[in-house]
Structure 1
């Protein structure tokens, strides 16, 4: 490695970029190039025939089969296990190779010359390489949380579905960086140099900046464990914003040359985060809401007709009257093909935020609600047509992604006869929850039945032995007063968003390179040539300023360019709600069988379906997902292809 690295460094160490230019060429540019090419691929995929994608995806089915079900990592497929083991092997090899080479050159004579013992010198070396390994893990940390990512879809992932990889990486990185900090504290204390903890060097590593970064990371890390995250979500949410301090002081600690390794993930995240910020500034027009007796709400937003998204997508919603800072993810239950001017989400009253939302909607004097939306985010395409039969098992409000699939199938059934059979197995606590099935039919559409689908619904009510009276199971529709300031939901970068994202990435990074090259050549280089030094801290802040400025300028220009078209489409949106209160359509009643007082025998249902390819999809509590995964991984049904949908981190 040292041979080819030194050769590249010799050929790329210029007066315009100096040493960080080599690291950017090796570590940063290749990932950004993959991201840009991924944008072009996703743009073509969006406009291509999905049949080719189906054939390609079917070849990878064996790699998606779950191999671990009940372990601490949850449900893990073959490919996930392989990637996890490869990453652990990379980190272990990286650490062991550096450490063994370093220890080989540590002698008692050299340690005594420095006034240290051998174990102290080795401890310092161990701390150094623990930090470098943590930096390597940090390079992967931000890819899963980049929602509009062009890299994740290349390996069949979405940001929401890969959130657990972010969690795993986060724990690994914090363990390594904490061990890195502890090694140095013990080393300084044992060598009587504890005062170094307060040093902020100008021409080398800043210890104090690293300690501030680590403290911010520890505060963030402490609230990420499941019990705290789920029971005290607001505390988790607010402390998680400390990632900004963590990154800034981490940059000031190590300098821009080391940051080049993690820069691709951070840079793409910064672009995505700023685009989300621009989209969130818009107030989205809320058309109507359907209030279910189970204290579940379907919100219907107006959207531009050209705005398309795949089934099982999700959006992040903010209601300033409840909390101006909190954004909560919800599954989209509508189909952009069937409902070109509406986007719907299903929200069940569970936590504090959803309780406040429900209380707002049921007020007698309620007229309107200011709402901001980010997204939708989701898979680049959904290839459920590759299966003969789909078995969808859901728990409670987990039925939402399946509603979006069924609505999409209603649209596709008009033009294709290759729609698979569907067996929907929703599991509810009470009979009041059965009204969620009425949401299979959209509130605004020319579709009045499900006769075009081969649909069978086996609904289970676990806490009741008989249906409750019909009066309390009525759905109430609330129509909102038009808000002139609200706009239909539109893509922040227009209909060709992937191409625009590629343009933003390329233009902003090229502008950053030009600015930093000019300043380095004509300002920093003359200072260093005259015998002076330009501090690492100042250089890092300069890079940070240029990074943020270029991202803001390029992203803002792209958004403003597409805003005109979105405004023109918004004027053409005319929505007519059809009257659908609580009377279920005849085709829905005929397709539904309700079972009271028990849970479904999932093994019997899944293994009792004939066909060469059965898609077993599950959405709901972790116990339900693991139960279906265990059946699919048992080997009893080789035709079962498992897919879990989880939005509970």
Structure 2
């Protein structure tokens, strides 16, 4: 199956490589159009066949593949370890591995090849100033401007793959939407550079040829200039807010302006027409499927069981989960709390383990930004807390557990960056206590500002207390308190638990497409596209063709594009809704069983405990954790020394925390001073 998907993808790439050449323009394209220019699809049938169908076919086949291998502990090969080492750790690209850098150069070569071939073929067809009364340089500027747009279109074909969270393509090559978001950022910058240059070149061309009125034309057929200008303006507004300084300081402005992608795509469609839009449709189509499924999942309110408030101004939210639903460590969810903001969705790492805690899902939230501050104040305020409405999208995460391929693990965290490592350690606890399989030894290096943050280490053990023995878990924790030189008095700083009352409409967290989500995703993609083909075939054959006769010179291009878009949206909505409703029947029955099994939760806060003071010190797992933890006050971890002196032939190094810490660890691993260090990249920087 992988071989078939690989061959189809290579063939799809070859089409993109050949498109700018004269061979494609004068030999291949006429034959393709002659064989696909039917009365049911018109000229758009050509691009549907060679650009859209191959990627959707790969997506559906990938869904079948992931469905078949679901549940197996797949681990990626170690042979790529050298290629995955970071070779760049600084601005402007951030941490980039050898394999990522190689693909960057190959993609850049594809862009240069495409533009140079477009110019070569375009300039060869210019004979002086033609019959337009233009100078030769003006005609060349016109041709160059068109080709900038064509190369930008090539980038758009890849733009939406990295941001499709429920994607079968990303896990097929060992990626997640979290780890590949940087590819979307890179592509977005390139797209806007090319499209902005495209617009500027045309503005200069129209100004120098006294055709400035072209900027106000919306042609009935062909290219619409006004639509392109509106799309460019929407893109520029988005682009202006994506730079790190603006995005980090004014995240809400970035988030809301980024919703202009809808206007950008809509007017881009009207600008180029549906026939050409099909060349970039696959990524957008899969993103639309994912986006609608996320919309359906976010309409329900999940059952929030409790919230644990730590002295470090950190909150652990515990949700009810469908017992049959499993997820891997390093998964993440997006949550929305309408009482704080009905529009804001924020990503958080899942800290619980589906094996240790089959009926619960937990996330940890550190009070940092304005949204998290409001949440913490809401939960920590005195008085009863009957309920808190929360909606969730996800979880999304890796389909494999690559950290198991190492002999030992070194996890470096700063502050709340310890959160993703909690899920890994809980998985290792499960494997060491229930499975007879070798586990890597773990060194957890965590840096905190104050001793109150030490309560984060307490979260390594699940609150359910269903762990009986940690003797087989080879865990060592080195905690560094950077702003205190001695243990602080933690009197009065307790871990407080707030319990919530459920209501019948609350549901446990479950996959939106049920336990066989990959199978259903493939069914949605394939069936919705078939429905679209049937609808657009009927429309074209019995309405558009009698008017236009496939000349594309009579029937409005904009009207044709809008009708195609409406049919695409209808097909996706119908197929996805049917799949969700079908799976919701089983989820509803399971939710009722969960509510019947759950014991009544207390309405008042139970007794609390101090970190390492009053929490069941007779507990064997907690005693083991305390003995494995060394606390260093007034110091920072000497990362270079700790990493280079690490034992083991195959050491996986993971880091989560401030960018300076991530870059330092990546630089040490890529320095070549120790051959046994293998940097394992994780990313949650949305």
Query: Which category describes the TM-score, using the shorter chain as reference length?
Result: over 0.9
Q: Within 5 Å, which residues of 2 pair with 1:573-584?
A: 573=594, 574-575=597-598, 581-584=609-612
> Which residue of 578, 588, 598 corresponds with 1:567?
588
Which moved further from structure 2: 476-485 or 30-39?
476-485
Please tell me whether the aligned partners of residues 196 and 207 of structure 1 are also in contact (alpha carbons under 8 angstroms): yes
Q: Does the C-alpha gap of structure 1 residues 476 and 38 become closer, same or farther in structure 2, counting only changes over 3 Å? A: same
Please tell me whether the aligned partners of residues 311 and 405 of structure 1 are also in contact (alpha carbons under 8 angstroms): yes
Q: Does the C-alpha gap of structure 1 residues 600 and 575 become closer, same or farther in structure 2, counting only changes over 3 Å? A: farther
**Equivalent in the alignment of 2:77:** 57
Q: Within 5 Å, which residues of 2 pair with 1:386-535?
A: 386-413=405-432, 414-448=434-468, 450-529=470-549, 533-535=554-556
CA deviation map 1:515-541 (0-9, x unaligned): 101111111111124998111101000
**Equivalent in the alignment of 1:270:** 288
**Equivalent in the alignment of 1:639:** 676
1:194 aligns with 2:215: no
CA deviation map 1:250-270 (0-9, x unaligned): 000000111111100000000
**Equivalent in the alignment of 1:28:** 52
**Equivalent in the alignment of 2:7:** none
Instruction: Tell me the secondary structure at the aligned position of residue 59 of structure 1.
Output: helix
Q: Distance in 1 between matches of 2:469 and 2:306?
A: 21
**Equivalent in the alignment of 2:626:** 589
Instruction: Tell me the secondary structure at the aligned position of residue 131 of structure 1.
Output: helix
Which moved further from structure 2: 439-448 or 503-512?
439-448
Which moved further from structure 2: 582-591 or 270-279?
582-591
> Which residue of 637, 642, 657 corresponds with 1:620?
657
1:550 aligns with 2:571: yes
1:230 aligns with 2:248: yes
> Which residue of 78, 82, 87 corresponds with 2:98?
78
Please tell me whether the aligned partners of residues 455 and 611 of structure 2 are also in contact (alpha carbons under 8 angstroms): no
**C-alpha displacement of 1:109:** 4.8
**C-alpha displacement of 1:484:** 2.5
CA deviation map 1:587-621 (0-9, x unaligned): 11111000111111112111212212101011111
Please tell me whether the aligned partners of residues 296 and 347 of structure 1 are also in contact (alpha carbons under 8 angstroms): yes
**Equivalent in the alignment of 2:30:** 6
Please tell me whether the aligned partners of residues 496 and 608 of structure 2 are also in contact (alpha carbons under 8 angstroms): no
1:101 aligns with 2:110: no
1:306 aligns with 2:324: yes
| Structure 1 spans left out of the alignment, 5+ residues | none
Which moved further from structure 2: 547-556 or 39-48?
39-48
**Equivalent in the alignment of 1:215:** 233
CA deviation map 1:30-83 (0-9, x unaligned): 1111111111121222233x2xx33x4212212211111124211100111011
CA deviation map 1:175-195 (0-9, x unaligned): 100110111111111111111
**C-alpha displacement of 1:386:** 1.0
Instruction: Tell me the secondary structure at the aligned position of residue 674 of structure 2.
Output: coil
**Equivalent in the alignment of 2:222:** 204
Q: Does the C-alpha gap of structure 1 residues 142 and 44 become closer, same or farther in structure 2, counting only changes over 3 Å? A: same
**Equivalent in the alignment of 2:61:** 37
Please tell me whether the aligned partners of residues 444 and 575 of structure 1 are also in contact (alpha carbons under 8 angstroms): no
Instruction: Tell me the secondary structure at the aligned position of residue 82 of structure 2.
Output: helix
Instruction: Tell me the secondary structure at the aligned position of residue 177 of structure 2.
Output: coil
CA deviation map 1:529-581 (0-9, x unaligned): 49981111010001000000000000000000000111111122245689874
Please tell me whether the aligned partners of residues 494 and 608 of structure 2 are also in contact (alpha carbons under 8 angstroms): no
Q: Distance in 1 between matches of 2:264 and 2:358?
A: 42
Q: Does the C-alpha gap of structure 1 residues 343 and 580 become closer, same or farther in structure 2, counting only changes over 3 Å? A: farther
**Equivalent in the alignment of 2:616:** none
**Equivalent in the alignment of 2:666:** 629
**Equivalent in the alignment of 2:109:** 89
Q: Distance in 2 between matches of 1:318 and 1:448?
A: 35
Q: Distance in 1 between matches of 2:402 and 2:608?
A: 30
Q: Within 5 Å, which residues of 2 pair with 1:220-369?
A: 220-365=238-383, 366-369=385-388
Please tell me whether the aligned partners of residues 86 and 96 of structure 2 are also in contact (alpha carbons under 8 angstroms): yes
1:153 aligns with 2:171: yes
Q: Does the C-alpha gap of structure 1 residues 201 and 537 become closer, same or farther in structure 2, counting only changes over 3 Å? A: same
CA deviation map 1:426-472 (0-9, x unaligned): 11111110000000111224115533311000111111111111324
**C-alpha displacement of 1:483:** 2.6
Please tell me whether the aligned partners of residues 115 and 151 of structure 2 are also in contact (alpha carbons under 8 angstroms): yes
Instruction: Tell me the secondary structure at the aligned position of residue 593 of structure 2.
Output: coil
Please tell me whether the aligned partners of residues 620 and 646 of structure 1 are also in contact (alpha carbons under 8 angstroms): no
**C-alpha displacement of 1:582:** 3.6
**Equivalent in the alignment of 1:118:** 136
Q: Distance in 2 between matches of 1:544 and 1:567?
A: 33
**C-alpha displacement of 1:4:** 2.7
Q: Distance in 2 between matches of 1:332 and 1:184?
A: 49
Please tell me whether the aligned partners of residues 40 and 499 of structure 1 are also in contact (alpha carbons under 8 angstroms): yes
Q: Distance in 1 between matches of 2:93 and 2:439?
A: 35
Q: Distance in 2 between matches of 1:580 and 1:496?
A: 41
**Equivalent in the alignment of 2:389:** 370
**C-alpha displacement of 1:236:** 0.8
Please tell me whether the aligned partners of residues 438 and 582 of structure 1 are also in contact (alpha carbons under 8 angstroms): no
Q: Distance in 2 between matches of 1:530 and 1:361?
A: 63
* Paired residue total: 643
**Equivalent in the alignment of 2:70:** 46
Q: Distance in 2 between matches of 1:418 and 1:449?
A: 16
CA deviation map 1:139-164 (0-9, x unaligned): 11100110011101122111011111
| Structure 2 spans left out of the alignment, 5+ residues | 1-23, 613-621
**Equivalent in the alignment of 2:615:** none
Q: Does the C-alpha gap of structure 1 residues 530 and 178 become closer, same or farther in structure 2, counting only changes over 3 Å? A: closer
Q: Distance in 1 between matches of 2:212 and 2:510?
A: 56
Please tell me whether the aligned partners of residues 284 and 301 of structure 1 are also in contact (alpha carbons under 8 angstroms): yes
Please tell me whether the aligned partners of residues 46 and 381 of structure 1 are also in contact (alpha carbons under 8 angstroms): no
Instruction: Tell me the secondary structure at the aligned position of residue 679 of structure 2.
Output: strand
1:382 aligns with 2:401: yes
Give the alignment's TM-score, normalised by structure 2.
0.92
CA deviation map 1:210-239 (0-9, x unaligned): 101111111111111111111111111111
Q: Distance in 2 between matches of 1:587 and 1:519?
A: 70
Q: Distance in 2 between matches of 1:187 and 1:269?
A: 36
Q: Distance in 2 between matches of 1:109 and 1:562?
A: 63
Q: Distance in 1 between matches of 2:279 and 2:221?
A: 20
